[in-house]
Amino acid sequence: MQNPAQKNVAQKTQAPLTDYLLRLGDSALVLGQRHAQLCGKAPALEEELALMNVGLDLFGQARNWLGYAAELMNDNVDADHLAFRRDAQDFRNLLITEQPNGDFADIMGRQFLFDAWHVHLLDGLTHSSDPRIAEVAAKSLKEATYHLRRSSEWVIRLGDGTEESHTRMQRALDNLWQFTGELLQVDEIDQAMIETGIAPDPEAIAARWKATVEEVLEEATLERPSYDAWMYTGGKVGHHTEHLGFLLAEMQYLPRAYPDATAW
């Protein structure tokens, strides 16, 4: 029979891990859906292909994270159920991922600030004490690295471009900045992950994120807002901006309207 003390430990570590996986999976899913909304609306064919492919990578990553979370929940749910049958308050994505598409500067600014964090986090997660997380992270890291390469090029091209593109890129950065505090925020769930060696040292991630952001913004001739600026938080515990509900309403409509469908 299982030692009761051990069982308690298992229960204690399982819930934060599930939450942590939802944070990873929901962030990828929601940002991927923002890309999907651009289908047929990108400014050029090449950019349309790129946006859709980046979105597709994010959906694939979301499926891997949410699939793992669903197994831990052991509640007869799967990744699709988590994606399509939960309401906004159950989502644990970062607030920056749900911000609206706006203009191309908003889209690439959001992607860049996220990518610059994502690559360093995934890189750290490849050393996770949880082998399944390490495996998914190693796969995702290659994709995220390529995403960062593209989003930084765009931030530089727009920032160091015409007066109009520079103005818009700076405005996008100023608007999005208030959601970046959450990327570096460490709460009790993160703390539990760090203590068990599942998640990497947050200070190293923060230092790397800042270094990447500073390097690219400098080359883009953009002014970096202050790290001490007031920041929105809450996405990681289910307190979202008003934008997420609308995104989910569109994304979840079909499976919710036809809950008995077995084939699409």
Partner 1 sequence: MRPPGNPPSDGPIDDWPSSDLIGSDRRGLPPAGEKGDIDAVLAVLEQVPDPEVPVVSVVELGIVRDIDWVDGRLAVNVTPTYSGCPATEVIEQHIHEALVAAGYSDPLIQRRLSPAWTTDWLTEAGREKLRAYGIAPPVGSASKRSLTGQSDPVVPCPLCGSNATERVSEFGSTACKALYRCRDCLEPFDYFKCL
- When the beta carbons of 99 and 140 are compared against partner 1, the nearer one is 140
Part of the chain binding partner 1 (CB under 8 A), chosen from 16-24, 88-96, 133-141, 177-185: 133-141
Among the listed residues 105, 141, 183, 222, the single contact to partner 1 using CB under 8 A: 141
User: Does 148 sit near partner 1 (CB under 8 A)?
Assistant: yes
3-state SS of the chain? CCCHHHHHHHHHHHHHHHHHHHHHHHHHHHHHHHHHCCCCCCCCHHHHHHHHHHHHHHHHHHHHHHHHHHHHHCCCCCHHHHHHCCCHHHCCCCHHHHCCCCCHHHHHHHHHHHHHHHHHHHHHHCCCCCHHHHHHHHHHHHHHHHHHHHHHHHHHHHHCCCHHHHHHHHHHHHHHHHHCHHHHCCCHHHHHHHHCCCCCCHHHHHHHHHHHHHHHHHHCCCCCCCCCCCCCCCHHHCCCCCHHHHHHHHHHHHHHHCCCCCCC
The contacts of residue 57 (CB under 8 Å, 6+ apart) are 32, 140, 143, 144, 147
Residue 187 or 219 with smaller CB distance to partner 1 = 219
Closer by beta carbon to partner 1, 93 or else 189? 93
Residue selected from 71, 103, 135, 174 as contacting partner 1 according to rule CB under 8 A: 135
CB of 180 to partner 1, least distance (A): 17
The nearer residue to partner 1, 17 or 205, going by C-beta atoms, is: 205
Task: Note whether 174 binds partner 1 by CB under 8 A.
Answer: no
Q: Which is nearer to partner 1, 126 or 241 (CB)?
A: 126
**Is residue 127 near partner 1 by the rule CB under 8 A?**
yes
Q: Which of 99, 140, 170, 180 binds partner 1 (CB under 8 A)?
A: 140
Residues numbered 37 to 96 that lie near partner 1 (CB under 8 A) are 46-47, 49-50, 53-61, 63-64
Find the angle CA(154)-CA(247)-CA(199) to the nearest 5 degrees.
65
The reply on whether position 254 binds partner 1 by CB under 8 A is no
In the complex, minimum distance from the CB of residue 49 to partner 1, in angstroms, rounded to a whole number: 5
Decide whether 93 or 151 has the Cβ nearer to partner 1.
151
Least CB distance to partner 1 at residue 74 (A) = 21
Q: What does the binding site for partner 1 look like in residue numbers (CB under 8 A)?
A: 32, 46-47, 49-50, 53-61, 63-64, 119-120, 123-124, 126-127, 134-136, 138-143, 145-146, 148-153, 155-156, 207-208, 211-212, 215-216, 219
